[in-house]
Amino acid sequence: MSVALGTTRPLPVRTTPVGDPGNLLASLPATTPYAWVRNGEGLVGWGEAAQVAVPPGPGRFAWAREWLATVLGDAQVDDGVRHPGSGPVAFGSFTFDENAHGSVLVVPRAVLTRRGGRAWLTTIGEAPVKTFSPITDPGRISYGDGSLSAPEWERVVARAARRIREGELEKVVLARDLLATAERPIDVRLLLMRLARRYPECYTFSVAGLVGATPELLIRRTGQEIESLVLAGTTPRGTGPADDLARGAALFASPKDRHEHECAIASVRETLAPLCSSLTTPDEPELLVLPNVQHLASHVTGRLADGASVLDVVAAMHPTAAVGGTPTRTAIEVIRELEGMDRAGYAGPVGWIDANGDGEWGIALRSGLVQGRRARLFAGGGIMGDSDPAAELAEAQAKFRVMQYALEG
């Protein structure tokens, strides 16, 4: 059901410890699956106790926090676990562009959680009956151009690079989409199982049809402690171990990629510093090696000064330079002008929040919007003044392979 702000009734919530459920994703029924899983731990949910379409605009995160405070704060909670992620939990997905429609928050009727060697089940009202059905394969997948063809997108990259060289901005992140059509309806559970198995170090997620596996943790809040993983600078995996090492070394030494990463770190530092009593950023990035690509990565940690919820930090951080550009406001205008598509939830915040303001939110990369037999896949990359359009196209195609693997197996 859809619940509007100001008309909610207190939700009866019960959280109880349970035995180890094993594979969390195997617990999901066929309908309305919600998921946030990494290395076998996380949360999965089903059913809908409350949901809302978040109005677009610059105040959307404040509006969302107010709605959550009403729905979760007034809940009648029997919590036998009292751990981050116990009690009532909401899953959410926000559009990349604050002016776009499509942001959503959902409080599932049941949430199964596995964290730190413990597991628990949260239910709202009577436990919803799970109707299991066999996971089905979508069959043959065909692909077609999205908003722009490959040559058209290369021309957009060239235009963006020229504007950077002319001094309008330092960096802009451009995305493209790819349309996939299956023989049979796409079972989201199959995509989640394949993604979690192939990319265990990523955050496999599912919220309101947006499905993917992102390597990028926007923010984790546990009490006053926060953590973020910044990724900027990418190269495809090599054809063998020697090629892999050479590509990683070239990425680490690349002035273009190092500058792109430094822009992303500076953006995060500038955003988080006013919210934190302490903040630590590394002097040098490390190499994050995934099955399809390698990234320059930096772990950022801090302690909140004023008790802000995880959603307040999300509001301050989004969009980061890693998915927008530098300077951010100029980059967003260039994206709106050149990209030629609505990103929807791609590169927007996706994750979960509990009634205490704890939670984990990632950036919805390596993802797609799934509806029936069709999926709209997204990928992108950071454009600098010396970017080569053909190389940027190849990078985007490498990133598409994550969701193509999920569809094809």
Buried b / exposed e across 274-286, counting CB within 10 Å, b at 16+? ebbeebebeeebe
The catalytic residue among 154, 216, 339, 392 is 216
60-74 pLDDT, tens digit per residue, is 999 999 999 999 888
C-alpha 350/C-alpha 210 separation (Å) is: 9
C-alpha 375/C-alpha 99 separation (Å) is: 23
For the chain, the domains span 12-408
SS (H, E, C) 359-401: EEEEECCCEEEEECCEEEEEEEEEECCCCCHHHHHHHHHHHHH
Of the candidates 92, 357, 314, 349, the one whose C-alpha atom is nearest the C-alpha of residue 224 is 357
SS (H, E, C) 143-202: EEECCCCHHHHHHHHHHHHHHHHCCCCCEEEEEEEEEEEECCCCCHHHHHHHHHHHCCCC
96-117 pLDDT, tens digit per residue, is 999 999 999 999 999 999 998 8
Residue 7, Cα to own-chain centre: how many angstroms?
Answer: 30
* β-strand partners of 41: 38
C-alpha 37/C-alpha 85 separation (Å) is: 13
User: Is position 256 annotated as part of the catalytic site?
Assistant: no
pTM here? Answer: 0.91
Strands 76-79 and 12-17: parallel
Length of the chain: 409
Residue 134 per-residue DSSP state: -
pLDDT interval class at 267 (50, 70, 90): confident
Q: Are 75 and 117 in contact (CB under 8 A)?
A: no
224 has pLDDT over 50: yes
Of the candidates 273, 298, 280, the one whose C-alpha atom is nearest the C-alpha of residue 288 is 298
The percentage of the chain sitting over the pLDDT mark of 90, rounded to a whole number, equals: 78
For tokens 């394969």, the residue is: 137
How many CB atoms are located within 10 Å of the residue 59 CB?
A: 12
Helix (H/G/I), strand (E/B), else coil: 229: strand
167 has pLDDT over 90: yes
364 has pLDDT over 50: yes
Residue 98, Cα to own-chain centre: how many angstroms?
Answer: 16
| Phi, psi angle pair for 158, to nearest 5° | -60, -40
pLDDT interval class at 5 (50, 70, 90): very low
User: Is position 216 annotated as part of the catalytic site?
Assistant: yes
* β-strand partners of 210: 207, 369
C-alpha 71/C-alpha 78 separation (Å) is: 15
**Lowest pLDDT segment from 80-84, 161-165, 169-173, 235-239:** 235-239
Q: Are 159 and 77 in contact (CB under 8 A)?
A: no
pLDDT of residue 349: 98
Mean pLDDT of the chain: 92
pLDDT of residue 129: 65
The catalytic residue among 171, 339, 360, 392 is 171
pLDDT interval class at 363 (50, 70, 90): very high
* Topology of the domain covering 12-408: Anthranilate synthase (3.60.120)
Residue 158, Cα to own-chain centre: how many angstroms?
Answer: 27
Specify which of 121-130, 155-164, 244-253 reaches the highest per-range mean pLDDT. 155-164
Of the candidates 322, 377, 366, the one whose C-alpha atom is nearest the C-alpha of residue 174 is 322
